[in-house]
Amino acid sequence: MDPISILTTVTSTTSFLLTWIDQHQSKEKVFRDLRTTLDNVHGGVLLPLWSAGAGGSSQLEPSIVGCLRTVQEVLFRTRDHLVVWEDSRKIKSGKRLLAFLNPTVVLDELKDDKTQLVSSVQILSASIQISSFIRQPSALSPHVEPSRYLVSGSSNLEIASNRDVKKFWAAEIGTETSYCSAEFLHARLSHYFDKTLTPEAKEILSLGLDEYGIGCTTLASLDRFIGQQPLLDALTTLGVIQVIESSRFTVESAGPTYIKPILIMVDDEPENHSCMIDSVQSYNVDLFVFTSTASAKTWIDANEAMLRIADRFGRLRCRSDNVRWEQDASASTPSSYQNPRISLNIYAGETILHYLRGRQYSAPVLITAAKSIMETSYVLDYARAGSTRHRDVFMDFIHPLIADDSGDEEW
């Protein structure tokens, strides 16, 4: 994606979030704080940068583009959390279809988003100031390089909290670099640890660290993905570095006999499939239904321990529609964020599939579609994934769960 397109996406997403908060009029303090931050970012940083970049008066420096990618990722995650917050407050009449989501937990996530946004924008602002300063000839300040390193280098690392990640990034990627490709990260990790990475490592890094399809790995995304674990331990657990067998997903005292089958269903109109839902539940399958990609991802993260066990023993499957009406700010036209209630997410199926494989879930995934069935060829890029427009294929898909077939090798 070219620099102006990245800036356009960041600006339109910020506008989308401002409009969303204004329309919902929540009295929660975190929303007021978040709105103030977004407003300052939009008016004080992005619009002036847009005027300079789009007007052709200056080009966006690589350091600025890198910071914009980090801001973009934070904004996309904030958007997801806002959608989850709204989903968590929905009350269904009659039988409740949605899996439980805790609004309080989501508010805490939004507080973290606001903190991350402030940090990433501070680094962006510093990069803009340094870039402007370097362009202006100054006889009074001939030595530019040291200040550039102190501001853009040390500040850039502040977006990360894991000391191991900071140390690796500074040594192998560079203190003034905020993003890189999965291929480059793969090579630098191998060099840093002096170990041969697994054949799957590049795919694991690409799927897991680029959750929103930005096209690169940012320092912030690596830090979030590793968490508080030592870097080598986390990479070994993920199967990037094969040293010893990981214990993270080991199940000591469980077997397929004791594990109830789980089906995750992501659909914007689950009520239209009530007969199918009733049929699945009649077979003693734990069914968890979500109306948005963001809510599904949040719930999966929160219930990882349970899902890892089910996945290990072939007791987990996921069904998602290919396109979905949900809140989205991916389009960059003004009309796309002035009415942010819903828009058609044409990447909904691929997004949830990409997410599951990025988190190293091997469970079969079925994408259902009607008119968009010809747009589901992406399933061919993933193991144990398929697409259909027929209900009987879906019933065949869940049959191993119903039949207690722990082998589950058909998909």
Please report the DSSP string for 26-75 in residue order.
Answer: ---HHHHHHHHHHHHHIIIIIHHHHHHHHTTSSPPPHHHHHHHHHHHHHH
Do 227 and 376 have their domain in common?
Answer: no
Q: Is residue 408 part of a domain?
A: no
Do 129 and 244 have their domain in common?
Answer: no
**CA gap 375, 368 in Å, rounded:** 11
Q: Is residue 409 part of a domain?
A: no
Do 137 and 176 have their domain in common?
Answer: no
pLDDT given at position 4:
87
Q: Which residues of the chain have pLDDT under 70?
A: 53-58, 90-100, 132-155, 242-258, 327-342, 404-411
pLDDT given at position 402:
78
Domain containing 280 equals 256-402
pLDDT digits (tens, 9 = 90+) for 323-377: 988 765 444 443 444 444 567 788 999 999 999 999 999 999 999 998 999 999 9
Number of domains in the chain: 3
**CA gap 376, 323 in Å, rounded:** 10
**CA gap 123, 157 in Å, rounded:** 9
pLDDT given at position 94:
37
If you search the block for the tokens 């805490």, which residue do you land on?
A: 108
Q: Is residue 8 part of a domain?
A: yes
Alpha helix stretches (DSSP H) within 159-292: 163-168, 182-193, 201-209, 219-226, 231-238, 274-282
pLDDT given at position 147:
29
Final residue before a domain boundary, out of 248, 264, 292: 248
Q: How far is CA 294 from CA 88, 127, 299, in A?
A: 11, 31, 9
Q: Is residue 339 part of a domain?
A: yes
Final residue before a domain boundary, out of 159, 192, 215: 159
- Residue 365: in which H helix or E strand, if any? strand 365-368
Do 331 and 186 have their domain in common?
Answer: no
Instruction: Write down the pTM of the prediction.
Output: 0.77
Do 129 and 204 have their domain in common?
Answer: no
Q: Is residue 44 part of a domain?
A: yes
pLDDT given at position 199:
82
Name the nearest CA neighbour of 40 among 14, 76, 7.
14
Do 101 and 190 have their domain in common?
Answer: no
- Residue 9: in which H helix or E strand, if any? helix 3-24
Final residue before a domain boundary, out of 199, 218, 248: 248
Q: Is residue 410 part of a domain?
A: no
Q: Is residue 314 part of a domain?
A: yes
Regarding beta strands 343-345 and 324-326, do their DSSP bridges make them parallel or antiparallel, or are they unpaired?
A: antiparallel
Do 239 and 263 have their domain in common?
Answer: no
| Sequence-ordered list of residues with C-beta below 8 angstroms from that of 211, at least 6 positions apart, any chain | 221, 354, 355, 358
Do 232 and 273 have their domain in common?
Answer: no
Do 189 and 137 have their domain in common?
Answer: no
Alpha helix stretches (DSSP H) within 101-230: 103-135, 145-148, 154-157, 163-168, 182-193, 201-209, 219-226
Do 47 and 78 have their domain in common?
Answer: yes
pLDDT digits (tens, 9 = 90+) for 17-40: 999 999 988 889 999 999 999 999
pLDDT given at position 406:
55
Q: Is residue 411 part of a domain?
A: no
Do 42 and 155 have their domain in common?
Answer: yes
Do 277 and 201 have their domain in common?
Answer: no
